[in-house]
């Protein structure tokens, strides 16, 4: 018997923290959420109304979701695009599979930047010995560089810094001779990101520009408003992110990361076809969060321009905070000391096992002024043993 489609049921592919926060936003709006995630103990699965424990490519599970749910989205960048296509045959799906395929592959992503007239880092694609030789010949202009795998990289994984043609060849071996992009290492003054939400009718809204600090390739701190970025640069970043969303005929939430170079110029780094770690502050500091925007675009609800009601600083809480120097056994950080600070909101993702470099949660500090938010966030960082920013 075919199950009855529930107009207030939505599905999300992926069980991580982004899915968990989407579940929360959808439930606020009275929707029922099914999470498809192969891991039985996942952050989103724990929050969802239903958790289907199956691989993303399980066709029976996908068909069952499509039959029950009015709409489906993803929180996981590397979800197989064919899973989205299969769902799209029966229910509303955003983001579109084709856009996800572009964002999943650094070489396609760079080609998309070029086609949309959005500058990105000088680079070369390495997919063969010949490509390696060609890149090595071009190396004077691309070195020092960063060799990045074209697919499946995140949080700085799948990246090797290279300073010479020899190091490049060794790095390509180290990365398993996978398709890679060699990028010139640029003199970054700052990093920023823009989150846009585009509806099926092409109407697009955006969150204010975020300024991001990475440590060891992982986002550490996000500040909004961006303290060091001129308004004209921020406007340019928003215009470029919108242009990319238009070029992809995108529906959903798209995050575009940019570098601001020492000379003030703006270079696109990469795109994520989903809400992004740098947008988490929007839950506490904006009248609509990035997850509310994901929901609105998915459901075809109107998009109103979000407003930042408080300056905010977000600190990522990695598993490292659970380990103090000598002891191999993890222990909880001193949350009560943090919560005693004004304007602190603690988000934990419900992950059972803390591991170094694993995203366990974040905290957002909001305040009446950016200076106050920053001062409190610096105190929070000091309490946690994190470096100042
Ligand atoms: P994410 O977790 O955001 O998906 P990722 O692993 O895909 O990260 P990138 O965003 O490509 O990695 O790079 C991670 C960080 O490394 C950047 O935020 C930046 O700090 C630094 N970086 C990357 N590419 C360059 C470059 N071409 N020049 C200088 N620094 C770079
Ligand atoms: Mg990145």
| CA of residue 61 to ligand 2 center, whole Å | 31
pLDDT at 139: 66
Q: Is 186 in the pocket of ligand 1 (CB under 6 A)?
A: yes
Atom of ligand 1 nearest to the CA of 218: 2
Query: What ligand is nearest to the CA atom of residue 158?
Result: 1
| Probe residue for ligand 1, chosen from 109, 156, 188, 280 as the CB with the greatest number of ligand atoms within 8 Å | 156
Q: Which CATH class is domain 6-93?
A: alpha beta
Q: What is the DSSP string of 166-215?
A: HHHHHHHHHTTT--EEEEEPP-EEEEEEEEEEE-TTS-EEEPPPEEEEEE
Give the residue ranges of the chain where pLDDT is below 70.
1-4, 139-140
Instruction: In the chain, list all ranges with CATH 3.30.1490.20.
Output: 122-184
Give the pLDDT of residue 374.
Answer: 98
Closest ligand 1 atom, CA of 77? 4
pLDDT for 2 equals 56
In the chain, CATH 3.30.470.20 sits at: 188-384
Ligand nearest the Cα of residue 159 is: 1
pLDDT recorded at residue 110: 97
CB 272 within 8 A of CB 255: yes
Give the pLDDT score at 83.
Answer: 97
Count the Cβ atoms, other than its own, within 10 Å of residue 167.
Answer: 18
What are the structure tokens assigned to 27, written together? 């439930």
Q: Is there a contact between 219 and 277 (Cβ–Cβ < 8 Å)? A: yes
CATH of 188-384, one of 1.10.30.50, 3.40.50.410, 3.40.50.720, 3.30.470.20: 3.30.470.20
- Among the atoms of ligand 1, which is closest to the Cα of residue 186? 28
pLDDT at residue 327 in the model: 79
Q: For residue 65, what pLDDT is reported? A: 93
**What is the rounded distance in angstroms from the CA atom of residue 310 to the CA atom of residue 16?**
27
Looking only at the bridges linking them, the beta strands covering 210-215 and 188-198 are antiparallel
Instruction: Give the CA angle between residues 347, 279, 81 to the nearest 5°.
Output: 105
Compute how many other C-beta atoms are within 10 angstroms of the C-beta atom of residue 155: 16
- Taking CB atoms within 8 Å and a gap of at least 24, the contacts of 345-353 are 345/283, 345/284, 347/21, 347/280, 347/283, 348/317, 349/16, 349/17, 349/20, 349/43, 350/20, 350/43, 350/46, 350/47, 351/43, 352/41
Testing ligand 1's pocket by substitution, the residue of 144, 145, 159, 272 carrying the most ligand atoms inside 8 A of its CB is 159
Query: Phi and psi of 186, rounded to 5°?
Result: -100, 150
121 lines ligand 1 (CB under 6 A): yes
Q: What three-state secondary structure class fits 280?
A: coil
Closest ligand 1 atom to Cα of 154: 6
Ligand 1 centroid – CA 22 distance (Å): 25
Residue 126 in tokens: 């390495």
| Residue 3 confidence (pLDDT) | 61
Tell me the CA–centroid distance for residue 217 and ligand 1, in Å: 6
Q: Whose CA is nearest to atom 25 of ligand 1?
A: 185
Share of the chain above pLDDT 90, in %: 90
From the CA of 187, give the closest atom in ligand 1. Answer: 29
pLDDT digits (tens, 9 = 90+) for 128-170: 888 888 877 876 689 999 999 999 888 778 899 999 989 999 9
**Considering the domain 122-184, what is its CATH architecture?**
2-Layer Sandwich (3.30)
> Which value, to the nearest 10 degrees, does the dihedral of the CA atoms of residues 378, 313, 28, 352 take?
-50
In the chain, ranges of CATH 3.40.50.20 domains: 6-93
- The string of pLDDT tens digits covering residues 276-333 is 999 999 999 999 999 999 999 999 999 999 999 999 999 999 999 999 877 789 999 9
Contact status, residue 16 vs residue 44, Cβ threshold 8 Å: yes
Q: Residue 386's pLDDT is what?
A: 97
For the Cβ of 269 lying below 6 angstroms from any atom of ligand 1, the answer is: yes
Whether 355 lines ligand 1, by a CB cut-off of 6 Å, is: no
Predicted confidence at residue 141, as pLDDT, reads 87
């Amino acid at each position: 018997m075919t199950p009855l489609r529930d107009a207030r049921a939505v599905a999300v592919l992926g069980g991580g923290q982004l899915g968990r926060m989407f579940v929360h936003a959808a439930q606020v709006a009275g929707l029922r959420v099914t999470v498809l995630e192969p891991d039985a103990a996942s952050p989103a699965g724990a929050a969802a109304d239903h958790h289907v424990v199956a691989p993303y490519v399980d066709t029976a599970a996908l068909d069952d979701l499509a039959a029950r749910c009015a709409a489906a989205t993803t929180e996981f960048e590397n979800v197989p695009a064919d899973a989205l296509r299969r769902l799209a045959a029966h229910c509303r799906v955003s983001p579109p599979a084709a856009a996800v395929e572009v964002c999943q592959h650094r070489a396609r992503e760079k080609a998309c930047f070029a086609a949309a007239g959005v500058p990105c880092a000088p680079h070369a694609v390495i997919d063969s010995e010949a490509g390696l030789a060609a890149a090595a010949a071009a190396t004077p202009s691309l070195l020092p560089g960063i060799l990045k795998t074209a697919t499946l990289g995140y949080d700085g994984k799948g990246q090797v810094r290279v300073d010479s043609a020899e190091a490049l060849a060794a790095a390509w071996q180290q990365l398993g001779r996978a398709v890679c992009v060699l990028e010139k290492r640029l003199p970054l003054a700052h990093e920023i990101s823009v989150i846009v939400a585009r509806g099926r009718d092409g109407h697009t809204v955006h969150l204010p520009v975020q300024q991001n600090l990475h440590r060891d390739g992982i986002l550490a701190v996000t500040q909004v408003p961006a303290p060091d970025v001129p308004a004209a640069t921020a406007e340019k970043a928003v215009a470029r992110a919108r242009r990319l969303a238009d070029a992809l005929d995108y529906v959903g939430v798209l995050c575009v990361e940019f570098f601001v170079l020492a000379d003030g110029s703006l270079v696109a780094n990469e795109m994520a076809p989903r809400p992004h770690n740098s947008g988490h502050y929007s839950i506490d500091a904006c009248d609509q969060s990035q997850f509310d925007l994901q929901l609105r675009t998915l459901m075809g609800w109107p998009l109103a321009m979000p407003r930042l009601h408080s300056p905010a600083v977000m600190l990522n809480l990695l598993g490292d905070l659970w380990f103090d120097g000598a002891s191999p056994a993890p222990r909880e950080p001193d949350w009560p000391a943090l919560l005693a600070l004004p304007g602190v909101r603690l988000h934990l993702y419900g992950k059972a096992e803390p591991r170094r470099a694993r995203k366990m949660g974040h905290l957002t500090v909001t305040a009446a002024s950016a200076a106050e938010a920053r001062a409190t966030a610096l105190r929070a960082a000091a309490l946690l043993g994190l470096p100042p920013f």
